[in-house]
């Protein structure tokens, strides 16, 4: 009787492992992965290094892909915990070449913070077709608040991928 808790622990651990593996499975089609890689190549950091982040999900009628450059988190020193965003250029001309058809191509600008929202992000948005599939692509000016850092900069000046 004293060992009856062992199988339950084992089963709970197996459930945790299964959930973790299920979440790590990549359900994206190859064409979505290729699009993400090709769009990532169009980011050009102006001063710092940049690490492209993304989120993608299948919506009702299309894949929605959101891309951005990750922030650098300051570790140690008087600015500990603060984030620094990366200035960058983005090649819109070559972005258009990644689409077979374009239904909408927009620049969304939010120069002032909206009172009822968090921090809106300026973005380029394209609705179109890639590999004959409907896709909506957003390229954002900075990462969402819940994205982890792309890099960490330590008090001694070293920078490492997060």
- What is the rounded distance in angstroms from the CA atom of residue 68 to the CA atom of residue 139? 6
- Identify which of 155, 152, 149, 157 has the alpha carbon closest to the alpha carbon of residue 69: 149
Q: Is residue 101 a part of any domain in this protein? A: yes
Q: Which two tokens stand for residue 27?
A: 């359900």
> CA–CA separation, 133 vs 89, rounded Å?
27
Asked if the structure places residue 19 within a domain, the reply is no
Tens digits of per-residue pLDDT, 84-120? 888 999 999 999 999 999 999 999 888 776 555 566 7
| Other C-beta atoms lying within 10 Å of the C-beta of residue 133 | 14
Predicted TM-score of the model (pTM): 0.77
Residue 18 lies in a domain: no
CB atoms within 10 A of CB 79: 13
Inside any domain, residue 56 = yes
* 29 vs 134: CA distance, rounded Å: 13
Average confidence (pLDDT) over 63-82:
91
- Does 5 have pLDDT greater than 60? no
Domain count, the chain: 1
Task: Give dist(CA 31, CA 29) in Å, integer.
Answer: 5
Q: Does the residue 14 lie in any domain?
A: no
Per-residue confidence (pLDDT) for residue 4, from 0 to 100 = 43
Q: Are 125 and 136 in contact (CB under 8 A)?
A: yes
Return the pLDDT at 1.
44
Indicate whether 3 belongs to any domain.
no
Over residues 6-65, the pLDDT tens digits come to 454 555 555 666 565 555 556 889 999 999 999 999 999 998 788 999 999 999 899 999
Using the predicted structure, report yes or no on whether residue 161 has a pLDDT greater than 50.
Answer: yes
Range of the structural domain that residue 85 is part of? 28-161
């Amino acid at each position: 009787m004293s060992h009856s808790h062992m199988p339950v622990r084992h089963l709970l651990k197996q459930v945790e492992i299964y959930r973790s593996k299920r979440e790590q499975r990549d359900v994206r089609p190859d064409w979505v992965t290729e699009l993400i890689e090709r769009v990532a190549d169009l980011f050009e950091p102006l001063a710092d290094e940049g690490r492209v982040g993304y989120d993608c999900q299948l919506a009702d009628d299309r894949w929605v892909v959101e891309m951005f450059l990750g922030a650098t988190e300051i570790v140690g020193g008087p600015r500990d915990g603060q984030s620094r965003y990366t200035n960058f250029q983005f090649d819109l001309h070559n972005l258009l070449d990644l689409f077979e058809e374009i239904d909408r191509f927009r620049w969304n600008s939010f120069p002032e913070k909206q009172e009822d929202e968090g921090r809106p992000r300026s973005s380029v948005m394209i609705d179109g077709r890639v590999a004959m599939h409907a896709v909506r692509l957003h390229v954002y000016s900075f990462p969402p608040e819940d994205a982890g850092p792309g890099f960490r900069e330590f008090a001694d000046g070293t920078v490492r991928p997060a």
